[in-house]
Amino acid sequence: MNITDIEIENILENEQKRQRDSAVFIASENYASSSVRKYTSSILTNKYAEGYPGQRYYAGCEFADQAENLAIERGKKIFESEHINVQPHSGSQANMAAYISLLNPGDRILSLSLDHGGHLSHGHNVNFSGKIYEIHNYFLDEETEMLDFDSIQKIAEEIKPKLIICGFSAYSRVINFEKFRKIADSVNALMMADIAHIAGLIVAKQHPSPVNIADIITSTTHKTLRGPRGGIAIIKNSLSKKYDRGIFPAVQGGPIMNNVIAKAVAFKEASSEGFVQYSKDIITNSKLLCGFFKDKQLRIVSDDTENHLMLIDTRSVNLSGAEAEEKLNSVGIIVNKNAIPFDPNPPRITSGIRIGTPAITTRKISENDLLQIGELIFQTLTTSAKKSTYIKQEVNKIMNKLPLP
């Protein structure tokens, strides 16, 4: 049966146009390849495969086993790891399984505060993590707005956490995983690295890897890694059985096998030379844009970027983060409002925007066009709404030249 659902077709057509015409700077978004999208919609969506390859709770899993084994093999290769679980439906579920398998309810976790760049699932009080575990936070240094390892060490000694989490959603600097390991060892804690944002940079060796340093590494597959929407976890052998049981049966039922096979496709793409160049270009573009904004006297949190994202303190253009997000959205430039360290505004308002280059780099934007968009961002933030029709046309003109994958 091949029925066209007109209402859905209309929505998708509009979304396709929006994705094509806008300049996407959401640091956690990307454009998956047409292969990844094709295999995400494969017939494996029809198959239940609770369990793991060779040990399923349903018959008929021989090809599901082959698919998952291939994803595992390719995932281990690109991360150079002993063990990978490719079943988490998302980054949050990968994290949930880590806590369930390694901790008891009420155990202490030490993580970066959400408003300093952490993540909801690292212990925020509105999230399951903050409700089930005793959460303590570390914070960025007020002056440098970077990780302050002396202070993290001090808090770790005071509270003696069972788990220390590093890996962030809005941190623009390189993460020194070795230093976290030393702190974790000194207080006998486990260490978890959530590399959702930087997984692609790590695979392409453009950021140090926490593999063989952290006890457990969780990630999404759709950000810099440019795969299907989903999660993974990389675990050292000694904890792998515990973690696997944490995913199934503790947190999830059947894996989304069509996504598992698309993860395998993405891992293959990420092992190519082209992906290394892509990852280098993400950082080059991020630095280029950051330098441009600094020349325009916009304040950049921690004064620079070393990865795929930067945070702009929108107080430097007399706007809240929410106002800046809305102004940019109205001209087809898509960013998200984001709390900055020591932000006086609440999370729905904030004093910053987060700008990331993974998606625009996938569109293969030239340096000139990127700087032109930088200028349009600056104009949008600093001039009246009267210019917005002109700016939107200019954004569309640039983006329309760049094909969608």
Choice between 79 and 171, CB closer to ligand DSN:
171
β pairing state of 163-166 and 108-112: parallel
Tokens 């210019």 locate to 387
d(CA 79, CA 139): 29
Q: Would you call 364 helix, strand, or coil by DSSP? A: coil
Q: Please tell me whether residue 95 binds ligand DSN under the rule CB under 6 A.
A: no
121 vs 240 by CB, closer to ligand DSN: 121
Residue nearest to ligand DSN (CB): 28
Distance (Å, rounded) from C-alpha 243 to C-alpha 96?
10
Where in 9-28 is the site for ligand DSN (CB under 6 A)?
28
Q: Could you list the active site residues? A: 48, 50, 194, 220, 223, 229
Q: Under rule CB under 6 A, how many of the chain's residues touch ligand DSN? A: 4
For the segment 108-137, give every residue that binds ligand DSN (CB under 6 A). Answer: 119
Number of CB atoms found within 10 A of residue 219's CB: 31
Instruction: List phi, psi (to 5°) of 236.
Output: -75, 155
The number of beta carbons lying within 10 Å of the beta carbon of residue 4 is 6
Please give the residues from 25 up to 44 whose contact with ligand DSN meets the rule CB under 6 A: 28
Whose Cβ is closer to ligand DSN: residue 75's or residue 91's?
91
Q: Which is nearer to ligand DSN, 113 or 169 (CB)?
A: 169
* Cβ nearer to ligand DSN, comparing 167 with 255: 167
- Least Cβ distance, residue 117 to ligand DSN (angstroms): 10
| Cα gap 174→317, rounded to integer Å | 27
Query: Residues 133, 80: contact at Cβ < 8 Å?
Result: no
Smallest gap, in angstroms, from Cβ of residue 355 to ligand DSN?
12
Cα torsion at 319, 320, 321, 327 (round to 10°)? -50
Smallest separation, CB 124 to ligand DSN (Å): 12
- What's the CA gap between 6 and 312, in Å, rounded? 41
Q: Which is nearer to ligand DSN, 91 or 321 (CB)?
A: 91
- Comparing CB distances to ligand DSN, the nearer of 51 and 91 is 91
Q: How far is the CB of 349 from ligand DSN (least distance, A)?
A: 17
3-class SS shares of the chain: helix, strand, coil, % to 5: 50, 15, 40
d(CA 230, CA 261): 11
Reading the block at residue 395, the tokens are 């954004």
Residue 91 within binding range of ligand DSN, rule CB under 6 A:
yes
- Near ligand DSN by CB under 6 A: residue from 169, 172, 252, 350: 169
DSSP track, 339-373: --TT-SS-TTT-SEEEEE-HHHHHTT--HHHHHHH
Least gap, CB of 116 to ligand DSN (angstroms): 14
Cα 24 from Cα 246, distance rounded (Å)? 35
Minimum CB separation from ligand DSN for residue 384, in Å? 30
Nearest-approach distance from CB 76 to ligand DSN, in angstroms:
24
Contacts of residue 353, defined as CB under 8 A and 6 or more positions apart, other chains included, come to: 311, 312, 314, 321, 324, 325, 328, 335, 336, 337, 338
Asked whether position 345 contacts ligand DSN by CB under 6 A, the answer is: no
* Contact set with ligand DSN (CB under 6 A): 28, 91, 119, 169
